[in-house]
């Protein structure tokens, strides 16, 4: 199974975005997590295309784009043009999920779907054959620095069983409250990709923190 760390740029210092992106580029993290928030799907607004383009210029690493926006189908193409390698949309944010997935596929990006803490994994079961990744939110989406919601690990195990049973190669990613102290448990439960914002950027030595998560 894959073991990938995807540092969330939401916790970076935007006054030194280039420096922070280059640090991630040098690190053992394979992916870079991009949190896009619209102030409607979540009660917060983060950043959009120009910032993504700046990150893309500072690193060629895999851009893991997490859209916390309503009607994401309206913007899929532009996120792909801004450099997204994977586009993950929330199942709760659209009533046109099939259209959305098709647009992502047509854009050339990998296809992801995310579920909020209260959404059961059964909600995405019929989509699994079309998905490169499922993102399980382990905090309410909207802000970095929150505590991990414990029941999330059980959702990972349930999804792992579903994926293995169906013989899919869908990756499992988890996002929210992840650090070196729970990384081991999450990989063991079946996660392939761990997102970490504050744990990485608030560490005294972020590159070492990434290594600690990777080898937890």
Site for Zn ion, rule CB under 5 A = 35, 66, 175
Of residues 57-116, which lie at the interface with ligand DX5 (CB under 6 A)?
66
* 134 interacts with ligand DX5 by CB under 6 A: no
Closer to ligand DX5 by CB, 130 or 146: give it.
146
For the bound state, the minimum distance from the C-beta of residue 195 to Zn ion, rounded and expressed in Å, comes to 5
Q: What is the DSSP string of the chain?
A: ---EEEEBGGGS-GGGHHHHHHHHHHSS--EEEEEEEBSSSSS-B---HHHHHHHHHH--SEEEEEEE-SSGGGTHHHHHHTT-SEEEEEGGG-S-HHHHHHHHHHHT-EEEEEE-TTS-GGGGGGGGGG-SEEEEESS-TT-SSPPPPTTHHHHHHHHHHHHHHHT---EEEEESS--TTTHHHHHHHT-SEEEESHHHHTSSSHHHHHHHHHT-
Of residues 147-166, which lie at the interface with ligand DX5 (CB under 6 A)?
none
- Candidate residues 5, 172, 178, 213; the one interacting with ligand DX5 per rule CB under 6 A: 178
Q: Which of 20, 35, 64, 85 is an active site residue? A: 35
Torsion of CA 200, 202, 203, 208, to 10 degrees: 30
Residue 175 a catalytic site member: yes
Residue nearest to ligand DX5 (CB): 197
- Candidate residues 72, 112, 142, 206; the one interacting with ligand DX5 per rule CB under 6 A: 142
Closer to ligand DX5 by CB, 8 or 27: give it.
8
Round to the nearest angstrom and report the end-to-end CA distance of the chain. 15
Residue 35 a catalytic site member: yes
Contact track, ligand DX5, 1-20, x by CB under 6 A: -------x-xx---------
* 199 interacts with ligand DX5 by CB under 6 A: yes
Catalytic machinery residues: 35, 175
Residues that bind ligand DX5 in the complex, under the rule CB under 6 A? 8, 10-11, 33, 35, 66, 139, 141-146, 175-178, 195-199
């Amino acid at each position: 199974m894959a073991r990938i760390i995807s540092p969330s740029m939401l916790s970076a210092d935007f006054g030194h975005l280039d420096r922070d992106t280059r640090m991630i580029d040098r690190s053992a993290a394979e992916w870079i997590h991009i949190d896009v928030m619209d102030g409607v799907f979540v009660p917060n607004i983060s950043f959009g295309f120009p910032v993504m383009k700046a990150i893309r210029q500072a690193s060629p690493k895999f851009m893991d784009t997490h859209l916390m926006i309503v009607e994401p189908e309206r913007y899929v193409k532009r996120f792909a043009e801004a450099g997204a390698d994977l586009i993950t949309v929330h199942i709760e944010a659209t009533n046109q999920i099939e259209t959305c997935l098709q647009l992502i596929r047509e854009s050339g990006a990998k296809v992801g779907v995310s579920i909020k803490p209260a959404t059961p994994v059964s909600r995405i079961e019929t989509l699994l054959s079309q998905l490169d990744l499922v993102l399980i939110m382990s905090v309410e989406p909207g802000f970095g620095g929150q505590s991990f919601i414990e029941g999330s690990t059980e959702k990972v195990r349930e999804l792992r069983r579903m994926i293995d049973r169906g013989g899919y190669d869908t990756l499992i990613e988890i996002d929210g409250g992840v650090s070196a102290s729970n990384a081991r448990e999450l990989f063991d439960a079946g996660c392939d990709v761990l997102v970490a914002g504050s744990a990485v950027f608030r560490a005294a030595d972020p590159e070492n923190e990434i290594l600690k998560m990777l080898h937890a």
